[in-house]
Amino acid sequence: MSQKPDDFQALADNPFYVLGLRPDCSRVDVEREGQKLLGMLGLKLKSAATYMSPLGPRPRTEDKVRAAMAALRDHEKRLAHEFWASLPPPAAPPKPPPAPETKGPGPAPFTEAFAALGWRRS
C-alpha cells in the first residue's frame, strides 16, 4: 500500500470544508462563497489562508477553491461530497495538553554526533 498521509482526501479536502459551507447550501451560496474566498486569497488575507476540517486545519489555495466550486457544480459529485461533510467542522484546534514534567526516556538528541567523528552534519 503506497498511500501517502495526504491521500485521505474525502474528509480533509472535502469541498464543503474548503468553502466553509454546510451540505444544505444552495448553488448560489457555493458561487458567492467561492468568489469571495478567491478575492480574499488574491489579496493574501490571512483569514482565508486556512480552513478547518475534521482532521484539523488545512491550507486553502486558489486551486483548491476552484476545484471545490467545480465539484459542487456537478450534482453527481456533490452527492458523495455531501455524505462526507455530515460532520460540522470543528471551530478551532484545541490547545495541546501540557507536557508531563517527568524526565524523558533518555538524553536529548545529540546534534554533535557527526561532528564528534569529524564528519560534517549530513
Partner 1 sequence: MRHDATKMTEGRRVTRRRGAWPVFALLVLGIVVGGPDFVAQSYAIGSVLGGIILLIALGSWVMALLDLVGGLVWPALRHTVIAAGLVRTSYWLAFLARSSWEREHEGGQVVAAALALLHRSHDAALASWLEGKIQARARSGLGGIVATGLLAASRGDRDGARDILLGVDGFDPDFAPKAARRAANDWLVADAAARGDWITVMRRGVQPGQATAYTRFLARAAARIRGEALAGEPNPTDFGLWISWLLAPGRKAMRPLLDQARAAPRVLHQRKPPPPAPPPATVPLIDPSVHADDPVAHAQALHATWLALRPKTAGQPATELEQRLSATRMQELCRAWEAAWAPAERRMRQRAAALTAQTRAEEALAAIRRVVARELAELARAAKLPLDSFEAEVPTAALAAEELRAELLGGVEAGSEELRARTAADRRLPPAEESRAWNQFRRRYEEAVLLGGMALRYLMFPQVHRDVCGYAVWLWNDRKEYGLSGPMFQWLLAEAEAVGDLEAIELQRKNVGAKR
Q: Is the dihedral of CA 107, 113, 115, 116 positive or negative?
A: positive
- Span 43-72, contacts to partner 1 by CB under 8 A: 54-56
SS3 1: coil
* 20 in contact with partner 1 (CB under 8 A): no
Strands 50-53 and 56-59: antiparallel
* 28 in contact with partner 1 (CB under 8 A): no
Helix (H) or strand (E) holding 53: strand 50-53
* 26 in contact with partner 1 (CB under 8 A): no
Contact residues for partner 1 (CB under 8 A)?
A: 1, 3-5, 8, 10-12, 54-56, 75-76, 78-80, 82-84, 86-87, 90, 93-94, 96-100, 102, 104-122
